[in-house]
Amino acid sequence: MRLLPAIDLIDGKIVRLTEGDFNTEEQYGDPYEKLKEWQGRVPMLHLIDLEGAKAGEPRHLDVVRFAKTCGFFVQTGGGIRSEEALDAVMATGADRVLLGTKAFTDSDFLNRALAKYGDRVAVALDAYDGIVAVNGWQEATDLKDIDAAKGLVDRGVKTILYTDIGSDGKLNGPNLERMKALREAVSVTLIASGGVTTEADVEALQAAGIDEAVVGKALLSGQVSLDDLIEWEARHA
């Protein structure tokens, strides 16, 4: 299993939220310094523009560009709701770009994105109690996560990042029930996000057939170290 350390951004700072609530913001310093600290130690990075997700347009493309100069495989997203924004993010050299809100509200946009950028386009499927949320997790839809995932695969999406909002930032472990249900429903690359805190969480996700997992607050808060992450990935490769 591949593990992706996460950096979420607001106002040029690394932050973490709990359950996507912007009122729970905790700051963890400068992203450039963190990227330099991680450079050469881990290959992949999950870099999310939370400010952009809320505003509806990317706000931290400079950080994405810097991450690429550091040699990371960069998975990034947040606020990509126009073709111009998608082109701008792709121009940073990002390896995998996550579409969220727009993937569920504008089917033509998703079709054009996939046609233009192929497997570099992934979709962030964010859900609370199995119901898809959009607009920076602030708005619930009437879509069920399993139905949404199947629909994305039918459209040609090859990678889905699933965030269980109820687990995010709580350090209580991932929602294995939802991850197992999704794994049974779709056969594309599936990434778990939300609550991944211990090696036991990694083992459980791997046993469920999950391909990749994002580790955020547990790493930034010091509950686990980057060395832990590197060792876990090596043991579960």
Q: Which amino acid does the sequence have at 235?
A: R
Residue that has been written with the tokens 């090596």 in this structure: 234
d(CA 155, CA 7): 29
Q: Which of 8, 49, 145, 201 is catalytic?
A: 8
The Cα–Cα gap between 185 and 47 comes to 27
Do β-strands 96-99 and 212-215 pair in parallel, antiparallel, or remain unpaired? unpaired
Selecting among 49, 126, 145, 164, the annotated active-site residue is 126
The Cα 96–Cα 127 span in angstroms is: 21
Residue 145 DSSP label: H
CB burial class (10 A; 0-12, 13-18, 19+) of residue 77? buried
| Helix, strand and coil percent figures for the chain, each rounded to 5 | 40, 30, 30
Strand partners, 75: 46, 96
Residues 6+ apart with CB under 8 A from 41: 226, 230
The answer to whether residue 8 is catalytic is yes
Is 126 a residue of the active site? yes
Dihedral (C-alpha) 213, 219, 223, 226: value to the nearest 10 degrees?
100
- Residues assigned a catalytic role: 8, 126
